[in-house]
C-alpha cells in the first residue's frame, strides 16, 4: 500500500470488505463491525476455566491473604513458601507443556491465575509470580532446546527454582536493544563469558536462573544463566516506592562463565526473544491491574459506607458516588479487553498441533500478531488501576494516607505498572505504530474499510436491540471516525507517521477508545438477559466517555495537521448524540450500591 491510499475521489458505497484478508485476530476491532464477529469474555469461560478460578480463589483467600503482611515486607522465606505452594498447585506451570512438568493450558487460564490470585491482597507476590511464569519461563518454553527444557522447565514449573528476566541496563531502558553487555567465547571454545550489568531485575536477588541478553560480535543473543555459574553477582536490594515485598536488584555478570549449550535460540535472535515474551507479559499485567482496580473499588465502597460526616455516610454524597461509578466503568472496560485478547489468541492457536516441531514458532507469531491488543491491555489496565487507586485514596480522605488502610500501599504499588513491561508511552507508540504497519502490509484490509465507510459513517443494517441502537450507531460512527483520521494521517505522513509523536499519542488514544467501544458492545450483545440488565448502564456510560475522548483527540489531530474540520463537524451533527452522562453515572452507582461490590464478573 502506498500513500495514494487516500480515497477522497474513490467512493464506492457498495464496496464489500473481505474479512478473510485478516491475518489472525490481531487488530480486527479496527474494521470488524458489530455482528461480524464475537469477542471472548468472562461470560465465555468454560467449565475448566471456572474450576481453575475456584481453585485460585481458594488459594488467594486461604494462603495468600493471611500471609499478605509478611509478603509485603520483603520476607524472603514467606515469599518462597507461598511461591512453592503456587508451584505445587500448578499456578506456576500453566503455560509449561505437560511433558516438562507443567499443565500446558490455554492463555485464558494463565490470565485467570493472575486475575484471581491478585485477590489475595499481595501485589508483591503477584509481581514475583508474573515475572517468573512470564518473561523468565516463556523464553525457555518457546525457544529452548529439548535439553534446556528438560533441565529447567520442571523445576521452574514446580517452584523449586525461581526465574528472572534481565534485559534492562543502565543505558538501555526503553531503548532495550541498545544493551552493552558482551558475550565472548572462552579460549577453550566451551563457554561464553558474559560481562556487563542488568538493572532493576525483578526476582533477581532470589532467583536460581536468569534469562539474559548480551552481544556476541555485535549481535544481541539470549542466554540462560544459572546462579552457581562463576561470575553471577547480585547487588543490594533496591529501596523501592512500592511492591516492597518483591526482590529487585542489579545483576552483575563478571566474566560469567556460561556453557555454550545455554545459549537460547541462535546468535542474533536475542531481540526477537526479548520482545516476543514481553507481549505476553503485557496482557497479563493488564489482567492483574484490572483485578487491582476492582479490589480498590470494593475497598472504597466499603469505606464510604462506614465513614460518616455531616451525620451521613459519605457514600450518600454524589461526588463520592460519581467517583465509584467511574471506577466501575474503567474496571469493566479493562476486564473486557483482557479476556477479549486472551480469547482471541486461544482461538487462533487452538487447532495447532502441539506435537509439531514448529508449534511454539506458530504460537509466537499469533501472540506477536496481537501486539496491539497486548499493549491495549497493559495501558488500559494500568490506567484503570491508577485512576481507581487515586480516587480510592480520595474517598478514604486522611485514612487513605495511613498505612493501616490497604488503599495506602495500593497507591504506591500501582505506580510501577505504567513503567515496566514497556512504559505506557512506549506502548502507545506500539499501538499506533503496529496499526500503521498492519495497514501498510495489508494484514488488515484498511483500504477496503476506508472505502466502504467513505460516505456512510453509520451502516443502515445494524441489527441490535432497540435499547442499544443509539450506542451501536455511536460505535460504528467511531469506527468510521478512526478510519477517517487514520487515512488523513497516512496521507500526510506516510511511513514517517511512526516518528510524529505529537499526533501519534492522541491517535493511539483514538485506537484505545475504539477497542473499548468495539469489545464492550460485543460483550454486551452476547450476554444473557440477566447480565445485560447489569451491563447496560455501564455500557452506555462507557460509550459516552469513549466517544467524547475520541472526538477530542480527533479534533486535536485535525487542527494539528491543518485539516479543515467542517466535514467532521457535519458528521457529528448528523449523528445527533448527546448522552446524559450524569444520569448514567447515577444508574451505575445505583447498581454498585445494589450489589455492594463490583458486580460484573
Ligand X SMILES: Cc1cc2nc3c(=O)[nH]c(=O)nc-3n(C[C@H](O)[C@H](O)[C@H](O)COP(=O)(O)OP(=O)(O)OC[C@H]3O[C@@H](n4cnc5c(N)ncnc54)[C@H](O)[C@@H]3O)c2cc1C
Give the cell for residue 421: 513491561
Among the candidate windows 118-126, 356-364, 425-433, 447-455, which touches ligand X by CB under 6 A?
425-433
Query: Is 259 a binder of ligand X (CB under 6 A)?
Result: no
Q: What is the DSSP string of 116-167?
A: HHGGGS-HHHHHHHHHIIIIITHHHHHH--HHHHHHHHHHHHHTSS-EEEE-
**Which residue in the shown chain puts its C-beta closest to ligand X?**
173
Binders of ligand X in range 196-255 (CB under 6 A):
200-202, 240, 248
The contact pattern for ligand X, residues 544-563, with x = CB under 6 A and - = no contact, is: --------------------
Among residues 6, 399, 419, 464, the one that binds ligand X under rule CB under 6 A: 419
Cell numbers 523468565 correspond to 136
Query: Is 103 a binder of ligand X (CB under 6 A)?
Result: no
Closer residue to ligand X (CB): 24 or 281:
281
Question: Of all helices (H) and strands (E), which one includes residue 216?
Answer: strand 209-216
Among the candidate windows 216-224, 345-353, 372-380, 423-431, which touches ligand X by CB under 6 A?
423-431
Among the candidate windows 318-326, 415-423, 436-444, 519-527, which touches ligand X by CB under 6 A?
415-423
Among residues 416, 431, 435, 468, the one that binds ligand X under rule CB under 6 A: 416
Closer residue to ligand X (CB): 244 or 321:
244
Identify any residues that bridge with 201 across adjacent strands, giving them in sequence order.
Answer: 249
**Whole-number minimum distance, CB 274 to ligand X, in Å?**
8
Residues sharing a CB contact under 8 Å with residue 404, sequence separation 6 or more, in sequence order: none
Closer residue to ligand X (CB): 128 or 342:
128
The contact pattern for ligand X, residues 364-403, with x = CB under 6 A and - = no contact, is: ----------------------------------------
Among residues 347, 425, 500, 534, the one that binds ligand X under rule CB under 6 A: 425
Among the candidate windows 86-94, 365-373, 395-403, 414-422, which touches ligand X by CB under 6 A?
414-422
Give the cell for residue 347: 482461538
Closer residue to ligand X (CB): 331 or 416:
416
**Whole-number minimum distance, CB 238 to ligand X, in Å?**
7
3-state secondary structure of 172: strand
Q: How many CB atoms lie within 10 A of CB 174?
A: 12
Query: Is 513 a binder of ligand X (CB under 6 A)?
Result: no
Give the cell for residue 393: 485514596
For the chain, give me the number of helices (H) and strands (E)?
19, 10
**Whole-number minimum distance, CB 573 to ligand X, in Å?**
36
What number of residues does the chain have?
A: 601
Residue 265: alpha-carbon gap to chain centroid = 26
Q: How many CB atoms lie within 10 A of CB 8?
A: 8
Closer residue to ligand X (CB): 206 or 457:
206
**Whole-number minimum distance, CB 13 to ligand X, in Å?**
40
Closer residue to ligand X (CB): 161 or 301:
161
Among residues 109, 168, 341, 382, the one that binds ligand X under rule CB under 6 A: 168
Q: How many CB atoms lie within 10 A of CB 12?
A: 12
First to last CA, the chain: 42
Residue pair 411/389 in contact (Cβ under 8 Å)? The answer is yes
Listed residue (381, 382, 292, 389) closest to 333, CA to CA: 381
Among the candidate windows 165-173, 182-190, 354-362, 367-375, which touches ligand X by CB under 6 A?
165-173
Query: Is 426 a binder of ligand X (CB under 6 A)?
Result: yes
Query: Is 174 a binder of ligand X (CB under 6 A)?
Result: yes
Residue 469 CA: distances (Å) to CA of 169, 257, 338, 551: 52, 65, 25, 20
Among 72, 169, 383, 421, the active-site one is 421
Catalytic residue check, 421: yes
Among residues 141, 167, 504, 551, the one that binds ligand X under rule CB under 6 A: 167
Give the cell for residue 78: 514467606
Among residues 423, 470, 491, 548, the one that binds ligand X under rule CB under 6 A: 423
3-state secondary structure 223-239: EEEECCCCCEEECCCCC
Binders of ligand X in range 285-324 (CB under 6 A):
none
Euclidean distance between CA atoms 88 and 280, whole angstroms: 23
Residue 341 CA: distances (Å) to CA of 29, 145, 198, 366, 450: 11, 29, 31, 11, 24
Secondary structure letter of residue 364 according to DSSP: H
**Whole-number minimum distance, CB 134 to ligand X, in Å?**
10
**Residue count at the site for ligand X (CB under 6 A)?**
20
Euclidean distance between CA atoms 417 and 381, whole angstroms: 9
Among residues 105, 131, 225, 408, the one that binds ligand X under rule CB under 6 A: 131
Binders of ligand X in range 321-350 (CB under 6 A):
none
Torsion of CA 82, 83, 87, 91, to 10 degrees: 90
Give the cell for residue 583: 444520569
Closer residue to ligand X (CB): 73 or 174:
174
**Residues in touch with ligand X (CB under 6 A):** 131, 164-168, 173-174, 200-202, 240, 248, 416, 419-420, 423, 425-426, 429
Catalytic residues: 421
Amino acid at each position: 500500500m502506498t500513500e495514494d491510499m487516500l480515497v477522497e475521489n474513490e467512493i464506492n458505497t457498495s464496496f464489500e470488505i473481505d474479512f478473510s484478508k485478516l491475518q489472525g485476530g490481531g487488530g480486527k476491532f479496527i474494521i470488524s463491525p458489530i455482528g461480524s464477529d464475537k469477542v471472548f469474555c468472562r461470560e465465555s469461560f468454560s467449565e475448566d476455566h471456572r474450576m481453575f478460578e475456584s481453585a485460585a480463589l481458594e488459594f488467594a483467600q486461604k494462603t495468600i491473604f493471611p500471609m499478605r503482611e509478611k509478603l509485603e515486607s520483603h520476607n524472603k522465606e514467606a515469599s518462597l513458601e507461598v511461591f512453592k505452594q503456587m508451584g505445587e498447585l500448578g499456578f506456576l506451570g500453566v503455560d509449561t507443556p505437560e511433558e516438562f512438568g507443567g499443565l500446558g493450558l490455554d492463555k485464558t487460564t494463565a490470565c485467570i491465575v493472575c486475575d484471581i490470585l491478585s485477590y489475595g491482597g499481595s501485589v508483591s507476590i503477584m509481581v514475583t509470580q508474573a515475572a517468573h511464569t512470564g518473561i523468565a519461563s516463556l523464553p525457555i518454553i518457546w525457544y529452548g532446546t529439548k535439553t534446556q527444557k528438560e533441565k529447567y522447565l520442571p523445576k521452574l514449573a514446580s517452584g523449586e527454582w525461581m526465574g528472572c528476566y534481565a534485559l534492562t541496563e543502565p543505558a538501555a531502558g526503553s531503548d532495550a536493544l541498545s544493551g552493552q553487555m558482551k558475550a565472548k567465547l572462552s579460549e577453550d571454545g566451551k563457554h561464553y563469558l558474559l560481562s556487563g550489568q542488568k538493572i532493576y531485575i525483578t526476582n533477581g536477588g532470589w532467583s536460581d536462573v536468569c534469562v539474559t541478553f548480551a552481544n556476541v560480535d555485535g549481535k544481541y543473543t539470549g542466554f540462560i544463566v544459572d546462579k552457581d555459574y562463576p561470575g553471577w553477582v547480585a547487588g543490594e536490594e533496591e529501596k523501592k516506592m512500592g511492591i516492597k515485598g518483591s526482590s529487585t536488584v542489579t545483576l552483575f555478570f563478571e566474566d560469567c562463565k556460561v556453557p555454550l549449550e545455554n545459549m537460547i535460540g541462535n546468535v542474533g535472535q536475542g531481540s526477537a526473544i526479548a520482545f516476543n515474551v514481553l507481549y505476553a507479559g503485557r496482557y497479563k499485567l493488564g489482567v492483574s491491574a484490572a483485578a487491582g482496580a476492582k479490589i480498590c473499588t470494593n475497598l472504597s465502597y466499603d469505606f464510604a459506607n462506614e465513614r460518616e460526616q455531616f451525620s451521613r455516610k459519605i457514600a450518600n454524597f454524589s461526588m463520592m458516588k460519581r467517583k465509584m461509578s467511574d471506577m466501575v466503568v474503567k474496571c469493566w472496560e479493562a476486564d473486557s479487553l483482557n479476556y477479549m485478547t486472551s480469547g482471541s489468541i486461544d482461538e487462533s492457536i487452538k487447532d495447532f498441533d502441539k506435537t509439531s516441531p514448529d508449534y511454539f514458532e506458530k504460537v509466537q507469531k499469533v501472540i506477536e500478531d496481537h501486539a496491539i491488543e497486548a499493549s491495549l491491555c497493559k495501558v488500559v489496565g494500568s490506567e484503570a488501576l491508577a485512576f481507581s487507586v487515586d480516587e480510592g485514596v480520595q474517598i478514604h480522605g486522611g485514612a487513605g494516607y495511613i498505612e493501616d488502610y490497604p488503599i495506602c500501599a495500593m497507591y504506591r504499588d500501582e505506580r510501577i505498572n505504567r513503567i515496566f513491561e514497556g512504559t505506557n508511552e512506549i506502548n502507545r507508540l506500539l499501538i499506533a505504530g503496529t496499526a500503521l504497519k498492519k495497514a501498510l502490509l495489508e494484514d488488515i484490509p484498511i483500504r477496503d474499510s476506508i472505502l466502504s465507510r467513505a460516505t456512510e459513517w453509520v451502516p443502515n443494517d445494524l441489527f441490535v436491540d432497540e435499547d442499544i441502537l443509539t450506542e451501536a450507531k455511536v460505535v460504528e460512527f467511531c469506527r468510521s471516525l478512526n478510519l477517517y483520521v487514520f487515512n488523513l494521517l497516512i496521507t500526510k505522513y506516510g511511513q514517517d507517521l511512526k516518528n510524529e509523536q505529537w499526533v501519534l499519542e492522541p491517535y493511539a488514544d483514538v485506537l484505545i477508545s475504539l477497542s473499548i467501544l468495539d469489545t464492550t458492545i460485543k460483550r454486551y450483545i452476547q450476554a444473557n438477559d440477566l447480565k445485560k440488565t447489569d451491563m447496560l448502564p455501564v455500557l452506555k456510560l462507557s460509550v459516552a466517555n469513549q466517544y467524547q475522548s475520541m472526538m477530542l483527540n480527533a479534533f486535536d489531530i485535525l487542527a494539528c495537521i491543518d485539516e479543515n474540520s467542517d466535514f467532521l463537524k457535519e458528521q457529528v451533527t448528523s449523528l445527533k448524540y448527546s448522552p446524559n452522562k450524569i444520569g448514567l453515572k447515577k444508574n451505575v452507582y445505583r447498581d454498585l450500591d445494589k450489589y455492594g461490590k463490583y458486580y460484573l464478573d
